[in-house]
Amino acid sequence: MEQFIEIFKALSDETRLRILNLLILSEESVCVCEIVDSLEQNQYNISKHLKLLKNVGLINESKDGRYKYFSLIKSEDLFITSLLQTISNISHQIITEDHKRLEKRFDIRVKKKCVVGVQNKHLLSRKN
């Protein structure tokens, strides 16, 4: 049962729900700095949330040069697929706005790769 609980705990956080929805909607690997810019949050917190999501097995990690990319896991497990379906049913303005910002960030990409770091640097230490 512990595994299921860990997964639901991972979903009990707004930032992580936003990250997951970002990855669901984008349908491709997203760079850490692109997530930071899309969610307008501190980089170190995004990092921590990504680590947690990876630990419970919901996302995958890959590295390319100095950039790190994350993507949804591809699972055939009934629980997981059903859960991701559920998460994609979350409809909220915040999710929509995150996705819009990600689309804009994708425009900066070159050959489908991230080429710049965090852009909203002035947001790095803002209070929420």
Binding residues vs a copy of itself (CB under 8 A) = 1-2, 4-5, 8-9, 11-14, 17-18, 78-79, 82-83, 85-86, 89-92, 94
Q: Which of 4, 8, 9, 77 binds DNA (CB under 7 A)?
A: 9
C-alpha to C-alpha distances, 18 to 38, 78, 115, 117, nearest whole angstrom: 10, 22, 23, 20
Phi, psi torsion values for 62, nearest 5 degrees: -145, 155
Instruction: State in angstroms the smallest separation of the CB of 57 from DNA.
Output: 15
Asked if 45 is part of the footprint of DNA (rule: CB under 7 A), the reply reads yes
Any idea which residue has 């850490």 for tokens? 32
Q: Which window, 20-28, 63-71, 76-84, 87-95, contacts DNA (CB under 7 A)?
A: 63-71
Coil/strand/helix, residue 49? helix
CB of 15 to DNA, least distance (A): 5
d(CA 88, CA 113): 25
Q: Does 43 bind DNA (CB under 7 A)?
A: yes
For residue 36, the partner it binds in a copy of itself, DNA, none, with Cβ less than 5 to 8 A by kind, is DNA
Asked if 44 is part of the footprint of DNA (rule: CB under 7 A), the reply reads yes
What would the two tokens of residue 9 be?
Answer: 């705990």
SS3 115: coil
What is the contact surface with DNA in residues (CB under 7 A)? 9, 12-13, 15, 31-33, 36, 42-52, 61, 63, 65-68, 114, 116-118, 125-128
